[in-house]
Amino acid sequence: MSDIDYKDRGSLLNPLKSFAFFGRPAVTEAIEPRPASDNYRGFHVNDWTKCVGCSTCQKVCDNAAITMVRIPGLIADPVKGIRDERPAIDYGRCCWCGLCVDICPTGSLALSREYVHTCVDAELDSYFVLPDSSGMHGQHFEKGWAKTADADLVDLDRQKMPEMEPEQRIGNFAEMLLGYDDQQALLEASRCVQCGMCHDACPTHMHAPEYIRAIWEGKLEEAVAWIYQTNPFAHICGRVCTRRCEDACSIGHRGEPIAIRWLKRYAMDAVPHERVKQIALAGKVDTPTGKRVAIIGGGPAGLTAAFDLAKKGHAVTVFEALAEPGGMTRWGIPEYRLPYDRIDRDIDVIRSAGVDIRCNVRIGQDITLDQLRAGHDAVLLALGLQQGRQTRIPHSEHEKVFRAVDLLNKITANEPFDVPHCAVVIGGGNVAMDIARSLARLQKQQYGQVNVVVTALEEQQHFMADPDEIKEALEEGIVIRDQCGPQGCEIDAAGKLVGLKTWKVLSIFDENKRFAPRYDEAGETIHACDTVIEAIGQSADTSLLGDTLTEALEWNRGRIKVDADGRTSEAWLWSAGDMVNGPDVVHAVADGHRVATSIDAVLMEQKK
């Protein structure tokens, strides 16, 4: 078998042939360090401008060699998902496996080609290093083992949300997103690296890493329990939250962020409603405190505060002017985005905590504020922003010029109105998209074709609306004309509205970043239509306060001034929600928690 002549048992002379090597140069190794290979796994380098301090490297490190160190002077920005921490490496533990590099969500971490470090006993701490982009000894060695696309350990692509095709969804108000199935939810949840950036960015600090982990472990009830710790608007936020969490998600730096909102929706939909109620009410105080709280406005802020206060044993009454509670989530957001039965479920949980919600009661008309004050220990104002702002352009007082919120209210209430054959919407925010898409559906139902134009000052990529909303609106046949500044409604001789005149926008803000649009008159366009809808923002209707109280309260740029706890300058009155913070569901929920804590503290103090 062997190619050596084994039978001859070798020769004494054979080794002597090696004497030829005396004439050859010896194999030598230079004493000075030789350059390492291109892929070398040497000491770490970390680009601090890219690193967000997410600590994923620390989690994957198999030797616990990485410690996150807070760096004084670094700026932390929870909204953008940046922490003031950077990884420090203990080279007494590191094994240079490079898993930290392969998993780094931002791609800031790499191993360099530097591999020599020596020290005397007294300098043993020098093995504990906070790497930056200059390397261990500041010598700017080149990168060795760095991130490559085919070796990434982070899954950058999110599970696609199943949705109805545009043709299917345009003729009705059925929910267009169908929700994840079990497998998709599991796969999506498994992408999470548990960095907790979402928790920091969320206004109400939802325990997103925890409930995502619970979903991944298949413990859906546990997920619901985590969700209810911070947010009683669980179904609603699972569908229409502005998801600050996903903007901060560390996976989102190079890929698509985890679909945190859809995972919340999945967990809420998967657990039976009766079980959700039991879970949500865990920790409710049994003994009533005897304190009475009145809350004006049954929207997210008011109801969150009501839920918290009721769980703490206070008697809470919510006064809602409209026929159903839910505030803007019900009366503003169209049904195809947020079905009413999901709102009803969230409200049912809140009612089951003992909150008394009285609808169709308008404070100031049915009951006066003074009566409320007399009958309750604390009053919370959570009116929301119900009044549509007006452009005040020429002829905008015409009867065929509507405010978006008014029309959305009508659609929710199922009130009949003349569906325009051809509508122009002014505004590029989510409300503009909501009304445009709702009208498109009504047009499709009644006239068989869509004829809606959305005009806004901004360029399309800078619209305030969610990019998904814009994409879906375009799919549904809505025309978007960006950079159009409204200049007046066109009325014909018979007094009929025939169009909207706009000029091309050159710039929106002046050099001081104040709102001062400049137009190019040459870019004049007449958008033919029979109806104009203004969707340029909302304001609060605070007329119920009455003159005396309005006079007595402190104001801040048209909004009631509140302290850090949401208390107004009147000791008995708190204010929360959109009317204080501007429009956003999850901010309103966070605000509801904050005022509830403050009201509870004050009431319990009174009780002593």
Partner 1 sequence: MRPENYQSVNHPPSNEFELFFGPNHPGIEGNYALKVRVNGDEVTSARADGGYLHRGFEKLMEGRLWIQNIALVPRICVPDPVPMEVCYSLAIEELGGIEVPERAQWIRVMQLELSRIAAHLFTFGGHAATTGMYTPMFWGIADRDLILDLFEELSGGRVYHIFNIPGGVRRDLPPGYLDRVSKTLDYIESRLPDYDNLLFTNKVFVHRATGVGVLNQEQALEWAVTGPNLRATGLDFDVRRDDPYLVYDQIEFDVPVEQAGDAWARALVRRSELKESLRILRQVVAKLPSVGGPIRAPIPNPLAWNLPAGDVYTRVESSKGELAYYVVSNGGDKPYRVHVRGPSAMHAVQVLENLVTGARIEDVAQIMFSLDACPPEVDR
Tokens read off for 201:
């960015």
Binding of residue 145 to partner 1 (CB under 8 A): yes
Out of 74, 97, 177, 464, which residue is the one contacting partner 1 (CB under 8 A)? 97
Out of 53, 81, 87, 98, which residue is the one contacting partner 1 (CB under 8 A)? 98
Q: Is 45 helix (H, G, I), strand (E, B) or coil?
A: strand
Binding of residue 22 to partner 1 (CB under 8 A): no
Minimum CB distance to partner 1 smaller for 63 or for 368:
63
Binding of residue 11 to partner 1 (CB under 8 A): yes
Backbone angles phi, psi at 62, to 5 degrees: -80, -10
Binding of residue 198 to partner 1 (CB under 8 A): no
Largest CA distance in the chain: 123
CA dist list (Å): 304 to 83, 104, 326, 585: 29, 37, 11, 11
Minimum CB distance to partner 1 smaller for 143 or for 345:
143
- Report in angstroms how near the CB of residue 554 gets to partner 1 at its nearest: 49
The interface region with partner 1, picked from 37-45, 433-441, 516-524, 545-553 by CB under 8 A, is 37-45
- Report in angstroms how near the CB of residue 48 gets to partner 1 at its nearest: 23
Out of 44, 86, 191, 207, which residue is the one contacting partner 1 (CB under 8 A)? 191
Contact 273, 279 (CB under 8 A): no
- Report in angstroms how near the CB of residue 9 gets to partner 1 at its nearest: 5
Q: Is 88 helix (H, G, I), strand (E, B) or coil?
A: strand
Tokens read off for 436:
């445009």
- Report in angstroms how near the CB of residue 240 gets to partner 1 at its nearest: 27
Minimum CB distance to partner 1 smaller for 102 or for 469:
102
Binding of residue 40 to partner 1 (CB under 8 A): yes
Binding of residue 548 to partner 1 (CB under 8 A): no
- Report in angstroms how near the CB of residue 516 gets to partner 1 at its nearest: 48
- Report in angstroms how near the CB of residue 107 gets to partner 1 at its nearest: 15
Binding of residue 151 to partner 1 (CB under 8 A): yes
Any residues with CB less than 8 A from the CB of 441 and at least 6 apart, and which?
170, 171, 172, 173, 336
333-352: which residues touch partner 1 (CB under 8 A)?
A: none
CA dist list (Å): 545 to 112, 556, 595: 66, 16, 19
Per-residue b or e along 26-39, where b marks 16 or more CB atoms closer than 10 Å to that residue's CB? eeeeeeeeeebeee
Q: Is 121 helix (H, G, I), strand (E, B) or coil?
A: helix
Minimum CB distance to partner 1 smaller for 15 or for 72:
15
Binding of residue 581 to partner 1 (CB under 8 A): no
Minimum CB distance to partner 1 smaller for 28 or for 365:
28
Q: What is the DSSP letter of 544?
A: G
Distance of alpha carbon 284 from its chain centroid, rounded?
29
515-519 contacts, C-beta under 8 A, 24 or more apart = 517/457, 517/485, 519/485, 519/487
Residue numbers at the binding site for partner 1 (CB under 8 A): 1-6, 8-12, 14-15, 17-18, 21, 27, 36-41, 56, 59-60, 62-63, 95-99, 102-103, 111, 144-145, 148, 150-151, 153-155, 187, 189-194, 213, 216
